[in-house]
Amino acid sequence: MEIPGAEVLPLDITDPRSVEAAARAASDVTLLINNAGISTGANLVRGDLDLLRQEMDTHFWGTLRMIRAFAPSLSGGAILNVLSALSWFAYDGAGGYGAAKAAEWNLTNGVRLELAAQKTLVTGLHLGAADTDMMARYDGPKAAPADVVAAALDGIEANRLEVLADEWSATVKASVASDPSEFYQFR
């Protein structure tokens, strides 16, 4: 979909020069949405370390790199970091993804504190599965991307620090303070 006045910029958030170039070209940005994602399927104990590094390079370091590059122009603006219900729990087959999203969640909280003085809203968006290419092989309920976007934008407009885009995210978030045995079924 073309949006009048919008310009598409090449960007690889794992490449510092690419991020710097995008920040220079879009120095008037008032809303930064960090939605880059990768899901390698690597687990932590036996997974390929290079794949685990890619997960962290994208979700944590890439997001931080984007925030650092765009923060100077975001005074009075907003940042939306697209996170995951996996920020709060582990799933066999997605250990690297979950660890990277947990790190990005805490990054979101830390950046929020650091950018408060310049009045930049930092919002974390959590969702379970959405009907996207990344979740094409997942056989379960999926949120419509348009619904997730609407929830995110409504949250930003309402100055919310966190948006739970679906029931699954709300359920998982509510379980965080509970004993892990109530959430994980090992037996």
Averaged pLDDT score across all residues of the chain: 89
Closest CA to 29 of 19, 17, 15, 14: 19
Q: What residue segments make up the domains of the chain, in order of their start?
A: 28-173
Paired residues of 11 in beta bridges: none
Which residue, 160, 148, 14, 146, is CA-closest to 79?
Answer: 160
| DSSP H helices in the chain | 16-25, 49-56, 63-70, 95-115, 145-157, 167-175, 180-183
31-34 and 78-82 strand pairing = parallel
* CB contact at 8 A, 157 and 119: no
Structure-model confidence comparison of residues 140 and 161, the more confident one:
161
Distance between CA atoms of residues 177 and 172, nearest Å = 10
Clarify whether 138 is annotated catalytic: no
Q: Which CATH class is domain 28-173?
A: alpha beta
| Statement: the pTM of the whole predicted model exceeds 0.85 | yes
State the catalytic residue, choosing from 91, 97, 138, 184.
97
Q: What is the pLDDT of residues 167-187, one digit of tens each?
A: 888 888 988 888 888 877 754
In our burial notation (b when 16+ CB lie closer than 10 A, e otherwise), range 76-87 reads ebbbbbbbbbbb
Give the tens place of pLDDT for each residue, 80-131: 999 998 888 888 988 999 999 999 999 999 999 999 999 999 999 998 765 5
**What does the pLDDT read at residue 23?**
97
* DSSP structural state of residue 57: I
57: nearest Cα among 33, 86, 80, 37: 37
The residues, any chain, with a CB within 8 Å of residue 111's CB and separated by 6 or more, are 64, 67, 79, 122
